[in-house]
A and B are shown apart, each in its own frame.
Chain A
């Protein structure tokens, strides 16, 4: 499937990763248009349901981006997210989805370049993996 364009839903914490995605913009760090960012206050706010609904709906990958360990604006939200993601990866494997479709990345507020690189990497990897088996129709308009 050479023209497959994966769709990534990214949950970005308001304080670090969302800020980093803004920095990616202000510094014109270009990255593929396959990602849709949802702003959350903290990566620890992301519920398993959000991830499952995104995948069920046809997202090829889900990114949870939070502050680096120790930097959480709410002290430990990111470490809670880390544990949740581990459990969800287990669930995805058991359900028959590649756990790489779910990625957790620490991105601090200045790391626009890292944000862009993370998307690039994810898009590249998802392209290798092919569309999510849960995908209903075509990929995103890309």
Chain B
């Protein structure tokens, strides 16, 4: 079939015809293959010109059309339309550019004429290979997603909602309002920002067509123009819709953190609204990651919570909070080794919080008698606990709370286990322990003392009488050293010694006592011996000072009490005289090492034997459990009971075990943790449930940046030391060494807490919330929505001027950013609108430094556009409110908008000093008398060429607007690109400033570059227009010139998917299970990268096929 092509050559008046011999070109073209008709005309684009084409199509039956005229960018669409009207598919048309590419750029008419012939010949050749394409339409979902609730998002949302179409407005912060809500007054009209913004915010809140999702973030975007699917994470606010914003909760909340809204100039509570007119006007609880103290605590106490409650004087509440997790709070307040303090973030600033002393303070002040007991509903089950040490007591406590009837069997005459028998009274007074035990007994727990299981009562008996048994008999048997003399002579086992003293048996010690061992028991023995009257007490231990297992404060206290510690010594034998001990023989130790079996190999110094004289030797190198055989439990290393590590169940059914009896000697808090774990395990076992294992992550070490941030935010404030008895006083008796905090000390210390967790889970707010709107257990929720278009309005970040060290931001109190000045000058701000220095004085002179981080090759090359104008506004406010002198240090004044220049002029008349020059530095280094105590800004006034030193009280830095720090992720999320400056890229800077290369995704406001409010609002309306145009039409026309794959050829290698930026081609399985590529025509932009990557030739771009392009090439080169 021969094609019939019509060729039409335009004179464009004389624009083409003056240079190109149109007649000659027309005649030439008429001779080309396939050309049915070649005509020329004065103006092809005119109605008459188009008629010519339409008529020829109809009358001559043309099936291809070529027009040679101006650029196709000008009139390709015009002629395509003419073709359609003539009855021809628009893609059977080709355009030759003989004006911009020919007559306008070449002077020589002959050359231009020849070139025109070439171009038209190539077009004729190309058009023969063109194929009709179908222009497809896809329906548009009328919903719109707007990301970002600043003035841009608000404006766009209201405009679209006005058309009664659904808008989802997603805002990351708890309230919409964005940066504009932080501003005080707006230039040049000096409108109060809030006054003009908040009515719009309220409109958003009330508009039935706007679905406002605050505290929410976009998680995933899929789909394509007209049909996007978006997953949104609605972050838990912990306050439900029932909130009436009465504000009762904030009065109770003990946690204070820096207010983001006030730029850190003020504090807010953990439960808060960002500002009074917030929308949604619902409170929100800010909660960070679990604080490190809580993570480090074996029982996960709400440490930040009780510290916060102490700081505000709520001691009773603090005790209740302690009790929530800790069954033995008074004990822990004395003897806990406090891993929480080691993890405390405040240590990065100065010293960790005194968590343990504060815990003790709380328990000391409480009268157990007055504590209201929780309501317990018995559940009819009973559990036996063997041993009333911390593990047994903890398990009994928790089980009793849940309604179990619990009986504890204790071999000694009094409850407490190692707490009672092992820890000397000067560390843990008996009434303190008794207080905790009494509380547990009040919960209904029965403690049967003087009952050793195995003798009168057997484990079998307990199994018979109870549904479950918890074995927590501890580790009370001293280890032996296995050295000569140990067996024959009266070496005293450490725990036996302590037990005897603690249980009030009469114990006498000689003048000189040697204690062998390096752990807490050894220290305790030594200190007890000292208190019993030993004049000289030696501790001999294997470890060096730093490696001793005993707590460092214990060691310090012992040393203060005159106890001599021999480090890195090994005892080789007990020396006796006449059957009585008179010393120990030691060797110096070079190094030692424990093997896997628990044995130790020691490298001693040959010939270093020496004797430490002693009248008695106490051996405190460790303990192991002593389990009666008839228990019939499988035992592990060191005589411990073998248990399943998660459930603590033993080899016997219904018998559980925990604490030292399982782990060997460990810390009190670890035993409590084991007891609590056993309680949970027993509970779920008896209820027939599966035990949920919760692993808490270990606290992470901070990175250098985080540490620097902490140090910047928090000034150094040392820990409040707890008073101790003087060493001389303490060795006289068993009085408690540590004396506890006073109320004032406690509150001061507790207030040092950094509140890293945000909300501290004290639940004080819940107590006062009348509408019952607070729910601390709320979880994030992910919702999925479908929208037709997406408007991105994510705004900007402020440049951190701290990196320009010469301006002294962060170093000098009164060097502030412009945004901080907004809050400072705002009537609703931290100073109620009074412009004050940090020390409360009024400034007498203020410098405003322009272009901080903008127009600077080292930071941002671009102009931030708003700074000149707000600097003028700031100057105005300072003049009005304080009468201070104002110096503007500027490079160029850019006052380009409506009323801007006038405002500038007004200011110039107000006595503001304009200095043209970029300030070089801010310093407090005074050179002259009048500079003393002030900030000196150095600057060249370039207009007069002189160097200036301007002494001022306050410096305002006009900081750059920069792309959001997460702009890259956001760009990836929405598949949009970023300019080299980091802001989102528009489709065309001038003519398509809101659309992006991804159809259906629009960019408005400052996320596309710095703009002022007026421009942002105009853009927002433009964005609304873009969305509404799509909604109004109801469908979008898809580009027809997109990629197409020949499924027979495609090998599904994925080379196209690798290069495509739009995720259009996708490798799927065909009906035979072979990999094959599929093009998503809706997202394809027709760039053709896939075709180049395709090795087989299966991929081609419609309207830009190889045949079409190569025929053009061939036609152009055949001369």
Contact = CB atoms under 8 A, between A and B. Distances in A.
A contacting B, Cβ–Cβ less than 8 Å: yes
Interface of A: 7, 9, 14, 18-19, 21-22, 24-26, 28-33, 36-42, 44-50, 53-54, 57-59, 70, 73-77, 80, 84, 116, 137-142
A26 to B, nearest CB: 6
A41 B100 contact: no
B104 A28 contact: yes
A37 to B, nearest CB: 6
A59 B1114 CA distance: 10
Given A44-B1087, A45-B1091, A24 B1118 contact: no
Interface stretch (B37-45, B114-122, B289-297): B114-122
A116 B107 CA distance: 14
Given A9-B1116, A37-B97, A59-B1117, A50 B105 contact: no
11 contacts: A7-B1116, A7-B1119, A24-B100, A25-B105, A28-B104, A50-B1113, A59-B1117, A74-B1089, A139-B1119, A141-B1119, A142-B114
A30 B107 contact: yes
A74 B997 contact: yes
Contacts of B57: none
Contact of A33 (B111, B1061, B1092, B1104): B111
B1088 A45 contact: yes
Interface in B259-303: none
Nearest to B15: A25
Contacts of B97: 22, 37
A26 B104 contact: yes
B673 to A, nearest CB: 54
A46 B100 contact: no
A45 B997 contact: no
Given A33-B106, A38-B1112, A70-B980, A141 B111 contact: yes
B1052 interface: no
B977 A75 contact: yes
Contact of B112 (A33, A36, A39, A42): A33
A74 B1116 contact: no
B71 A41 contact: no
B3 interface: no
Contacts of B1101: 41, 45
Interface string B85-112: 0000000000001011110111110011
B1086 interface: yes
B1117 A58 contact: yes
Interface string B871-903: 000000000000000000000000000000000
B116 to A, nearest CB: 10
A113 to B, nearest CB: 12
B482 interface: no
Contacts of A116: 105
A54 B1118 CA distance: 10
Given A9-B1117, A33-B106, A42 B1088 contact: yes
A45 B1087 contact: yes
A61 B980 CA distance: 32
B1110 A50 contact: yes
A36 B102 CA distance: 10
B1061 A74 contact: yes
Given A33-B108, A74-B1089, A141-B114, A54 B1119 contact: no
B119 A41 contact: no
B1092 A84 contact: yes
B5 interface: no
5 A-B pairs with the lowest CB-CB distances in the bound complex, closest first: A25-B100, A45-B1088, A57-B1117, A74-B1087, A25-B104
Interface of B: 71-74, 97, 99-102, 104-108, 111-112, 114-115, 118-119, 122, 977, 979-980, 987, 997, 1041, 1059, 1061-1062, 1085-1089, 1091-1092, 1101, 1104, 1106, 1109-1110, 1112-1114, 1116-1119
Given A49-B1110, A58-B1118, A84-B1092, 14 more contacts: A22-B71, A22-B97, A26-B104, A30-B107, A31-B106, A33-B102, A33-B112, A36-B119, A38-B1113, A44-B1089, A45-B1101, A57-B1116, A74-B1089, A140-B1119
A33 B1113 CA distance: 17
A47 B1092 CA distance: 5
Contact of A44 (B997, B1088, B1106): B1088
Contact of A40 (B108, B119, B1104, B1118): B1104
Nearest to B979: A70
A49 B1089 contact: no
Contacts of B1112: 38
B789 to A, nearest CB: 20
B1113 A9 contact: yes
A44 B71 contact: no
A123 B108 CA distance: 16
A44 B1116 CA distance: 21
Given A22-B71, A41-B1101, A57 B1114 contact: yes
With most chain B CB atoms within 10 A of its CB, the pick from A25, A31, A40, A141 is A25
A117 B190 CA distance: 51
A14 to B, nearest CB: 8
A53 B1113 contact: yes
A33 B73 CA distance: 21
B105 A42 contact: no
A92 B100 CA distance: 32
Given A22-B71, A25-B99, A36-B118, A58 B1119 contact: yes
Contacts of B102: 33
B216 to A, nearest CB: 28
A126 B1118 CA distance: 19
A110 to B, nearest CB: 10
B921 to A, nearest CB: 34
Contacts of B72: 39
Contact of B105 (A29, A40, A84): A29
Nearest to A59: B1117
B1109 A38 contact: yes
Contacts of B99: 25
A53 to B, nearest CB: 5
B100 A21 contact: yes
Given A18-B73, A54-B1117, A75-B1061, A40 B997 contact: no
Nearest to A137: B1119
